[in-house]
Structure 1
Amino acid sequence: MNSFTIDDRGNVLRYIDLYSGGRAFDPLLFVHGLGCASSSDYPPVVGSDSYSKSRSLLIDLMGAGFSDKPEDGTFTSETQANILSSFVAGEHLTQVNLFGHSAGAFIALKLAKCLPIQVGTLILCAPGVNDYGISMLTEITSMTEAQFADVGFSQLLAQLNAAGGNDAWLGPFSVASPYATYQWARSALDDNAQNWLEDLANLNSIKGVILPDTATSDEIAKFEQAGCAVELVANTEHMMAYDNPDGLALAISNILELGA
């Protein structure tokens, strides 16, 4: 695993760098969703025979996965995007592609807007916050950050465990920072309430959106109207990397081919 120091206090962002000598696509930065970690979610995707084998940077956001979790850190979506912008500059990348899942799509979109270098392709996977997500994030932010860190976080994990079907998600969620989870939850609700589709439409990059094949025609149409190619993945719900990693790998590869 690779590391990038983000500040003068020695806090470290960690990531996996794969296929750096592979096909000549620009590197694809993976931005995971809330309660997730790229190091946990995406190895089966980028290891699939259906994947393009382009250089892939599986990044654990600050407060998640293997990255550091300072209790006094700032973990808003804007701050996370700024950290990733510093990472891109520090790694001397001259052009990148971006992937963002769920609430991570907001971070990927903010990053695409603030980067001083060209974003070749932006891929959003199940972007935004659905009704289930809004309910969960509203429950998280109904208490103070201190209350959530003290009792709310453990209660949330217990609820997800009791609900069943969340075994894979509970792995990275259980090691996430409660402070990062709380701050990101608040940011995600704010981001979702904004007209982020307009920002997506105005972005001057190749754009693709990946949805489950149960997506409605209206949902597909709103992304097509924003200038996005839409790929549908069978046998999936919101957590596509767990449900059908081969299908997600193919969808990512198909969108990357548009910019090849």
Structure 2
Amino acid sequence: MRDATVTPNGDRIRWVEVPGKEPVRLYLHGLGSSSPVYYAAAAAHPLLTGHRSLLLDLLGFGISDRPADFSYTLEAHADAVAAAVRAAGVERAEVIGHSLGGAVAIVLAHRHPGLVAKLVLVDSVIDPVDPSRSAIASQTEEEFLAGGRERVEQSAGPFWWATMRLAGPEALHRTAVHRCRGTVPTLREQLHGLDLPRTFLHPEADGEVDGAARLRESGVLVEAVPDCGHNIMIDNPDGFAKAVATALA
């Protein structure tokens, strides 16, 4: 396990690192999850091995520190990841981001263009979301800290619960709120404007991605992965590995 200080207060991001050749691959997890858990099988797949890989936990989640005084905006997450990546001596990483991690990856590429060579978004958030649709963001932070978190955990599936309970409560709530709120310019606008290879993976069963035609017009490769739900890398590791290997070829 490796770590790096990413805030003036000394808060540290941690990651599991797999040695290998360049270019480096950076894996970013979704809300309430953890990269070493969610990506372990996929990163070890024969189609994806051989590269130096950082399975990184965002600040507030998994094995990283959980400061209560961090803003947990998408921009702050991206800047913290950038600090960790630079501390690891990484340049021009191939970034794979799932759900929330994809949103952070877009902002990372937008704000720190020299750090990202290619982008693979895995059923990622790219549009604002109505907070009422989120079990977490629909609560105030006070409600969430006073018992709302426990109600969300009770309704979560066993896999998500196993990693969500590791998240800092402030991190979980504030990140969920900012995930719903999005960014200015929007994540979709930032994605359209990036000048690098970009792929958007989504479950085949969900049908066409909203705005897929415009994404393709801006150079984003939109690919459906069969036999999976939102957690593509867990539900279909072979399909995920094949799609990611193709995107990064």
> How does the TM-score come out when normalised to structure 2?
0.90
- 1:163 maps to which residue? none
Q: Could you tell me how far apart the structure 2 residues matched to 1:193 and 1:50 are?
A: 36
- 2:172 maps to which residue? 181
Alignment equivalent of 1:115, drawn from 112, 116, 133:
112
- 1:6 maps to which residue? 6
Structure 1 spans left out of the alignment, 5+ residues? 161-165
Q: Does 1:248 align with 2:240?
A: yes
**Once the two structures are superposed, what CA deviation does each residue of 1:164-198 show, in whole Å capped at 9, x if it has no partner?**
xx221111111111111110111111118964222
Q: Aligned letter for 1:48?
A: H
**Once the two structures are superposed, what CA deviation does each residue of 1:36-57 show, in whole Å capped at 9, x if it has no partner?**
1101100110111232532211
Q: Is the 1:29–1:58 Cα contact (8 Å) retained in structure 2?
A: yes
- 1:234 maps to which residue? 226
Q: Is the 1:129–1:188 Cα contact (8 Å) retained in structure 2?
A: no
Alignment equivalent of 2:139, drawn from 143, 146, 158:
143
After superposing the two structures, state which structure 1 stretch, 224-233 or 193-202, moved more. 193-202
For residue 98 of structure 1, give the secondary structure of its aligned residue in structure 2. Answer: strand
Structure 2 spans left out of the alignment, 5+ residues? none
Q: Does 1:15 align with 2:40?
A: no
After superposing the two structures, state which structure 1 stretch, 188-197 or 55-64, moved more. 188-197
**Structure 1 residue 141, shift from structure 2 partner:** 2.8
- 1:83 maps to which residue? 80
CA separation of 1:141/1:231 partners in 2, compared to 1, >3 Å: closer, same or farther? Answer: closer
Q: Could you tell me how far apart the structure 1 residues matched to 2:160 and 2:130 are?
A: 14
CA separation of 1:131/1:207 partners in 2, compared to 1, >3 Å: closer, same or farther? Answer: closer
Question: Between the two proteins, what is the percent identity of the paired residues?
Answer: 28
**Structure 1 residue 216, shift from structure 2 partner:** 2.5
Give the superposed CA RMSD.
2.3
**Once the two structures are superposed, what CA deviation does each residue of 1:184-237 show, in whole Å capped at 9, x if it has no partner?**
111111118964222111100011111112242464434323311123211101
Describe how 1:216-235 pairs up with structure 2 within 5 A: 216-217=207-208, 219=210, 220-235=212-227
Q: Is the 1:105–1:127 Cα contact (8 Å) retained in structure 2?
A: yes
Describe how 1:8-87 pairs up with structure 2 within 5 A: 8-18=8-18, 20-22=19-21, 24=22, 26-87=23-84
Q: Could you tell me how far apart the structure 2 residues matched to 1:55 and 1:237 are?
A: 28
CA separation of 1:129/1:72 partners in 2, compared to 1, >3 Å: closer, same or farther? Answer: same
For residue 143 of structure 1, give the secondary structure of its aligned residue in structure 2. Answer: coil
Q: Is the 1:103–1:127 Cα contact (8 Å) retained in structure 2?
A: yes
> How does the TM-score come out when normalised to structure 1?
0.87
Q: Could you tell me how far apart the structure 2 residues matched to 1:46 and 1:134 are?
A: 33
After superposing the two structures, state which structure 1 stretch, 4-13 or 186-195, moved more. 186-195
Q: Could you tell me how far apart the structure 2 residues matched to 1:50 and 1:123 are?
A: 15
**Once the two structures are superposed, what CA deviation does each residue of 1:31-88 show, in whole Å capped at 9, x if it has no partner?**
1110111011001101112325322111011111111112223222111101011122
Describe how 1:148-163 pairs up with structure 2 within 5 A: 148-160=144-156
